[in-house]
Amino acid sequence: MTADPQIIEQARSADPDARQKAAYLVAQSTDERNLPLMFELLGDKDWRVRKTIVDGLVRDARPIIVDGLLNALTDAENAGKRNSSTEALMRIGEPAIAPIVDRLRDEADVDVRLSLVNLLGDLRSPEGFTMLLDLLQRDRDINVASSVVSSLGKYRDASALPHLMRVLREREDLWLKFHVVEAVGEIGDRAALPAILPLYAEKSLRKPVLEAIGKIADVGTVNFLLRVIADEEKLNLTALRALVRIAEASKPRIVEQTERHLIQHRFRESFPREKIDALIEHLHTTPKREVKAFILKFLGWSADERALPVLITHLEHPDTSEVAAQALIDFGPGAVLKILEALRNAEEDEIVALLLRVVNVAGSKEAIPSILPFLDHDNSMIRRLAIETLGEIPDPASIDYLLAKLDDPDVASQQAAVNSISALDVAFPEIENDVLAKIRRLLQSHSTPIKLNSLSVYVNIQGEGYHDELLLASKDSDPTIRQKAISLMGKFGEDRFADQLVLSLADEATSVRLAAINAIVRLRPETGLEPLISSLDDNDIWIRTAAAQALGEYRHPASIEPLMRHLTHDPAPVRIAVIDALGKSEDADVKDVLFRCLEEPDPEIQRAAMLALARIPGRDAFERLLAALGGTDWRIRAAAAAALGVRGDRAALPALHRALDDADTYVQQSAVLALDKVADRSSFPYLFKALENAAILDDVSEVFVRHKELYRDLLEEAWRTADSRREVVIAAILAAMHK
């Protein structure tokens, strides 16, 4: 049985366009008679023809096609055919793995074995991993062995380490050792370090050893790298790059900053001063952006004065400006004078902004005269940065300049002035009376921004009589002033504000009514219940939404029936707020209503109902949450996990443990938060396993630290038997537990 003779003739035409058309026709067919022609065209000299055939073969990945692709790998004369076959097998994926493994068991051709080994490395399957380990032990061809090692590295599985270490001990070939070191770096397990560090003595292995050290990113190798940098005559950029990789490796928050500070400190102490010029020279000559970045970091860490003009200059280069700014911060106090000089001479807004950010972190009192001119800059962002910087520098002399910015044309700059004045007043209690006297005068201003922001400062520092000022402002003729006063009242749960807050629920201005609802939640006066229920019928959707949220905080039985009236026809924001409020009522009578909401098509309504069920009693509510944890929508699964955590029922623990392995990161995080609320020793093995998941590593670490009395002994026992990768993380968590 053969393909259509007309198609065969077209497929063998000298015209590549004709061959591609023929390839398209046979690629669309499932007729097995076309397969010989398809495999013939798989080796066509025109890449378009080959691609068309690959697309067709991948769509119909039957065993006969996989076998044909494996046979195509044996065509020693046609590289295009071999490459196309490899691409097709990669795209087919899992169905191709078992045939590849079977073929490898008996394949005699070295080149074919190489292709199959590389495929197993890219496809990464348990069967492939086992096969590669077997080949590593029995295949004596050096090229195959090297490819096996490289493929094992792609799995990043620490269980391969003993096999790779045996190769280092028993095989003398440097080419093979080169690949072993590279693979160890990909696996990233510090247990391999004792075996690979001595290999640095072999000149041909130095670069892969340093690269592997950087990928493993263990802080214990910092001294080794610093010795390499110091002892070698030439500047060792690979060692420097490894040092940066260790400093910037993703680690739990509880250890990250400590390790980075340690690395910077050791570098500053031990980096040879005579090599600073070499660093600077290489910075000027390298075209590589990545190399420029890590050299700038080191110049900042060095705290060497020769580095300062270089760092200042690189602020002006778009591709290095951010790195140079951070390097100036890392440089420390010694950079301040040069930074201020650059700030005075800077002309471009982007450079000024960067320098102000640096001064914000590293500045001191002598910086103030250099900052003041920027308070009146045309660019509002620069004015705001200057105002924020003055608030960070501990000097009360800035107060008058900041007070003058309370009516800045830019609202963000006004708020920055309020925050900076308040921060300095807290830092220097002795200036409070003087500040309050000035604020009282500003409260009489005819400028609305000055009155608003002065009132904010007055309340922030709780000046004498601020209650009366707030009550007076809440009756101002300007609705903006009234809204600000009511919002500020919301910061304090004081009974004297209750009557005015309730009265403001009927204010003519929507913004004031909304502020009153948000403020009244904190105080929850009894007289506020009926006006809030009335606000459910307000014409403004956001007033109705806020009123429903506030009634949820009241948790009063009288609000349930009015809330339920707004569950059917209102827009989604109101309905979601109503559902949340009904859940907070903890009333079993709302359960059926919430169950009906779970069936609605809007996933946000479903999600709100799921969270509301967290507080509703009854086994049937609990069962609905458990069932939702296995649903298809990640939002609903996450909401179910969160609700089970709020509910606090230990019967949910097995389901929450399973959710730690959910395919969605947000669901995993929700499960961790739930297990934080339902802390139980039975969760330890599941949380401990979750430390392997970088996406939730910090969350799990924090759970262990918060519940240290529950988990400390279990974690100490786990540390004694942990593998080297977990050992560092566990030690960091235990250290945090002792703080």
Task: Give the C-alpha separation, 69 to 66, whole Å.
Answer: 5
| φ, ψ dihedrals at 35, nearest 5° | -60, -45
For a pLDDT cut of 90, what percent of the chain falls above it?
73
- pLDDT of amino acid 146: 95
Residue type, 149: V
DSSP-based three-state secondary structure for 73: coil
Task: Give the C-alpha separation, 609 to 588, whole Å.
Answer: 14
The answer to the question of residue 697 being in a domain is yes
Q: Which long-range contacts (CB under 8 A, 24 or more apart) does 421-429 make?
A: 421/391, 421/457, 422/457, 422/460, 422/461, 423/391, 423/392, 424/391, 424/394, 424/395, 424/396, 424/398, 424/399, 425/399, 425/457, 425/460, 425/461, 426/461, 427/394, 427/396, 428/394, 428/396
Mean pLDDT throughout 501-525? 92
On the question of pLDDT at 380 being above 90, the answer is yes
Per-residue confidence at 721, pLDDT binned at 50, 70, 90?
confident
| b/e burial code for range 428-466 (CB count within 10 A of at least 16 → b) | eeeeeeebbebbeebbeeeeeebbbbbbbbbbbbebeeb
Write out 174-213 in H/E/C secondary structure.
Answer: HHHHHHHHHHHHHHCCHHHHHHHHHHHHCHHHHHHHHHHH
> What is the helix (H) or strand (E) element at residue 438, kind and residue range?
helix 432-442
Q: What is the largest CA-CA distance in the chain?
A: 102
The answer to the question of residue 198 being in a domain is no
- pLDDT of amino acid 467: 87
DSSP letters for 635-674:
HHHHHHHHHHHHHT-GGGHHHHHHHTT-SSHHHHHHHHHH
Per-residue confidence at 3, pLDDT binned at 50, 70, 90?
low
- pLDDT of amino acid 2: 54
Mean pLDDT throughout 313-322? 91
Domain count, the chain: 1
| φ, ψ dihedrals at 492, nearest 5° | -125, 130
Reading the block at residue 82, the tokens are 């071999």
Q: DSSP letter at 476?
A: -
Least confident window among 219-228, 395-404, 489-498, 592-601: 489-498
Task: Give the C-alpha separation, 501 to 101, whole Å.
Answer: 75
| b/e burial code for range 261-274 (CB count within 10 A of at least 16 → b) | eebbebbbeebeee
Task: Give the C-alpha separation, 641 to 664, whole Å.
Answer: 12
Per-residue confidence at 736, pLDDT binned at 50, 70, 90?
confident
The answer to the question of residue 77 being in a domain is no
Do 659 and 629 meet the contact criterion of CB atoms below 8 Å apart? yes
DSSP letters for 6-32:
HHHHHHT-S-HHHHHHHHHHHHT---G
Helix axes 411-427, 432-442, angle to 10 degrees: 150
Mean pLDDT throughout 188-208? 93
How confident is the prediction for the chain on average, in pLDDT? 91
Cα–Cα nearest to 677, from 696, 653, 709, 712 = 653
Q: In angstroms, what is the C-alpha Rg of the chain?
A: 34
The answer to the question of residue 382 being in a domain is no
What is the tens place of the pLDDT at every residue in 693-711? 888 988 999 999 999 999 9
On the question of pLDDT at 724 being above 70, the answer is no
Q: What's the pTM?
A: 0.73
On the question of pLDDT at 181 being above 70, the answer is yes
On the question of pLDDT at 82 being above 60, the answer is yes
For a pLDDT cut of 70, what percent of the chain falls above it?
99
Helix, strand and coil in the chain, % to nearest 5:
80, 0, 20
Task: Give the C-alpha separation, 612 to 609, whole Å.
Answer: 5
Do 470 and 497 meet the contact criterion of CB atoms below 8 Å apart? yes
Reading the block at residue 138, the tokens are 């029995």
On the question of pLDDT at 42 being above 60, the answer is yes
Per-residue confidence at 114, pLDDT binned at 50, 70, 90?
very high
Task: Give the C-alpha separation, 18 to 12, whole Å.
Answer: 9
Angle at 281 between CA 279 and CA 286, to 5 degrees: 95
On the question of pLDDT at 429 being above 70, the answer is yes
The answer to the question of residue 300 being in a domain is no
On the question of pLDDT at 472 being above 50, the answer is yes
The answer to the question of residue 735 being in a domain is yes
On the question of pLDDT at 566 being above 60, the answer is yes
DSSP-based three-state secondary structure for 348: coil
Which CA distances in Å does 669 have to 610, 611, 662?
17, 16, 10
Domain that holds residue 704: 682-739
Mean pLDDT throughout 383-394? 93
- pLDDT of amino acid 100: 95
Least confident window among 39-43, 197-201, 305-309, 649-653: 39-43
- pLDDT of amino acid 1: 42
- pLDDT of amino acid 8: 86
The answer to the question of residue 728 being in a domain is yes
What is the tens place of the pLDDT at every residue in 130-165? 999 999 998 889 999 999 999 999 999 989 999 999
Task: Give the C-alpha separation, 72 to 63, whole Å.
Answer: 14
Mean pLDDT throughout 612-624? 94
Reading the block at residue 504, the tokens are 């403001």
- Within 8 A by CB and 6+ apart from 721, the residues are none
- pLDDT of amino acid 706: 94
Which CA distances in Å does 161 have to 78, 401, 472, 473, 724?
37, 64, 74, 72, 12
The answer to the question of residue 727 being in a domain is yes
